[in-house]
Structure 1
């Protein structure tokens, strides 16, 4: 099992309306990713959201990916998620951005995709959530074709490229960035498996509730004969919360601190395309408070979070392997943590826990990308006549005829 961090640009309370606090949050989140690179973490996922006050102020993660990878050695950066809906990100623009990130990160970018957080976010772009599934289906397939063909054309329901265009750059091959999709609804897990792409699962319930959905994904991927991309990305990534500190009592104090669960109240407002959680509390109602130690122990046992010293967390983590999780990712900064405690958690978990579960130095997605096979020919149309070029600059990287 591999491990990662999830950053979302979370900025609760009055700080969401203070530019200086917003800047502090952005710089700290990049610091967490850079710090994790030295402590065995393999992935950092960063959300892309628009207009979701307090919940997420991270609207352009592609700029953050470049900063992080320039200052790290091995950690992969992933979009969680890049919206493929035509009004939010034109499919050609997505193809260009992803391929460029593949170059700039030197193959360390993971292409997490999806349809957006819900109706409020989509309304930012005058878009209805009822349209987003069909837009994803159309764009995902075509972006893969843009990366291979040099005379791309398309006439679709949501976008068109009438005359042949070579969409540039191409990915830093062989292959292309691993493809993932956000899975909130049970049917999306099956669909992701059948398409041979990774599933991004958000855990807002007891961990064993996800077992059936993960099994459906694994069954789908076992039967995948024609993956959406050039290779099968057999991966289930699950998000959760962790409070791991050397001081066990302080970790438990954080888990029971006032305001824990505030982000969940915002998820229940904004993420209205996912099935609602039973008894969900919506902002501005106050989140549930963990009233006592016994309730905290029950929540830990159910898999709502991991909490305690490194020895405690080592014992708690096995259940995530039991349900078939390939990559376990933790949202940070967790509510109740101070900045220095987040850094301590990254160090402790990375140095004492990750080596017990992840013994492979090469990323799972890197191994899968190595099996990539092209799907389309270079050209779909006959070349026009009269394109004989006789002279190019002497400093060209390759000569004519090469």
Structure 2
């Protein structure tokens, strides 16, 4: 859960987590985040330069809400709250295990310095993950570790891409298709705001063809097979197989430079409807 106060008020966060801990009989882990994409930050008016301070302030306040009866109150640049008894209280004492989402190595170090678990979404190799693991536990055991909250959660989780199928080539094909789409939509979400013209306005996208697969890039190449000028959001729908190039063209939402016959096959070449 993102915990900068403009996104979620700390008292409401404490109530929700405690409620989930109660109905799950003490099986909740409390995952936190400060937000990273422009879409998230601008949507809630969180200044990028202040999001880390907001996260740190909020996690300190929330963990006190878990244990203090009543909560003694808070006065900071990001949260002002008078003395209140924030209920319910958690089943796990002093509170559920704390985690923070990490997309960068520096945030894993932040987790270690705060004595909380690191949820890494970095898609690194197993070898890199092993190095990060060593750094995490070294910091956790050092004097730099000043635990947030009232209990240490010494755990690191790392996301690695994987695709399972009984046929190796099918697994590779589907894995590459999913990875390409994940990377593309992530680039748009993390780089652009909802009002950015590259997302909502016509933008030239170079379509590169490799075999029978298509890839979209916002770069110029010599003699491209196809250049589509259309909003990034429409290109996302095209790649996902929920929009047809001919339909976009007929609606005047796309300008085409290149081979129309090739362009008509782009939905298929990007993967078309989900194979699952």
Query: What range is the shorter-chain TM-score in?
Result: 0.5 to 0.7
Indicate the residue corresponding to 1:228 in structure 2: 148
Q: Distance in 1 between the 2:142 and 2:210 partners?
A: 43
Please say if residues 123 and 158 of structure 2, whose CA atoms lie closer than 8 Å, have aligned partners that are also in contact.
no
Indicate the residue corresponding to 2:168 in structure 1: 248
Superposed CA RMSD: 3.0
1:338 to partner: Cα distance = 3.9
Please say if residues 254 and 336 of structure 1, whose CA atoms lie closer than 8 Å, have aligned partners that are also in contact.
no
User: Would the alpha carbon gap of residues 337 and 133 (structure 1) be closer, same or farther in structure 2, given more than 3 Å must change?
Assistant: same
1:173 to partner: Cα distance = 2.7
Indicate the residue corresponding to 1:102 in structure 2: 21
Unaligned runs of 5+ in 1: 1-81, 274-282, 293-334, 340-402
Q: Distance in 1 between the 2:273 and 2:175 partners?
A: 7
User: Would the alpha carbon gap of residues 133 and 217 (structure 1) be closer, same or farther in structure 2, given more than 3 Å must change?
Assistant: same
* Structure of larger gyration radius: 2
User: Is 1:180 aligned with 2:99?
Assistant: yes
1:199 to partner: Cα distance = 0.6
- Does 1 or 2 have the higher relative contact order (CA < 8 Å, sep 6+)? 1
Q: Distance in 2 between the 1:156 and 1:148 partners?
A: 19
Deviations 1:300-341 (A, max 9, x none): xxxxxxxxxxxxxxxxxxxxxxxxxxxxxxxxxxx99744xx
1:213 to partner: Cα distance = 3.1
User: Would the alpha carbon gap of residues 146 and 265 (structure 1) be closer, same or farther in structure 2, given more than 3 Å must change?
Assistant: same
User: Would the alpha carbon gap of residues 129 and 284 (structure 1) be closer, same or farther in structure 2, given more than 3 Å must change?
Assistant: farther
Indicate the residue corresponding to 1:271 in structure 2: 190
Indicate the residue corresponding to 2:260 in structure 1: none
SS at match of 1:165: coil
Please say if residues 193 and 217 of structure 1, whose CA atoms lie closer than 8 Å, have aligned partners that are also in contact.
yes
Q: Which of 154, 174, 184 is equivalent to 2:74?
A: 154
What is the aligned length? 205
Q: Distance in 2 between the 1:232 and 1:289 partners?
A: 50
- In the TM superposition, what are the counterparts of 1:47-62 in structure 2 within 5 Å? none
Q: Distance in 2 between the 1:197 and 1:111 partners?
A: 10
Deviations 1:336-392 (A, max 9, x none): 9744xxxxxxxxxxxxxxxxxxxxxxxxxxxxxxxxxxxxxxxxxxxxxxxxxxxxx
SS at match of 1:246: coil
> What is the TM-score of this pair, normalised by structure 1?
0.46
Q: Distance in 2 between the 1:102 and 1:285 partners?
A: 47
Q: Distance in 1 between the 2:65 and 2:209 partners?
A: 50
SS at match of 1:112: strand
Indicate the residue corresponding to 1:58 in structure 2: none
Q: Distance in 2 between the 1:336 and 1:175 partners?
A: 48
Please say if residues 110 and 179 of structure 1, whose CA atoms lie closer than 8 Å, have aligned partners that are also in contact.
yes
User: Would the alpha carbon gap of residues 139 and 151 (structure 1) be closer, same or farther in structure 2, given more than 3 Å must change?
Assistant: same
